[in-house]
């Protein structure tokens, strides 16, 4: 069960990064 949770968290994080890049290109300056 832990693996499913980890995969879900990773997928959500990747989706969040992609959406943030699309909607707020300036957010990349933080990294």
Residue among 3, 30, 22 at smallest CA distance from 14: 22
Helix (H, G, I), strand (E, B) or coil at 2: helix
* pLDDT at residue 30, rounded to an integer: 61
Spans of all domains in the chain: 1-31
pLDDT higher than 90, residue 13 = yes
* pLDDT at residue 6, rounded to an integer: 94
pLDDT higher than 80, residue 31 = no
* pLDDT at residue 3, rounded to an integer: 95
Higher pLDDT, 20 or 3: 3
Q: What is the mean pLDDT of residues 8-21?
A: 91
């Amino acid at each position: 069960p832990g693996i499913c949770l980890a995969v879900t968290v990773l997928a959500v994080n990747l989706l969040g990064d992609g959406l943030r890049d699309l909607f707020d290109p300036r957010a990349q300056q933080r990294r």
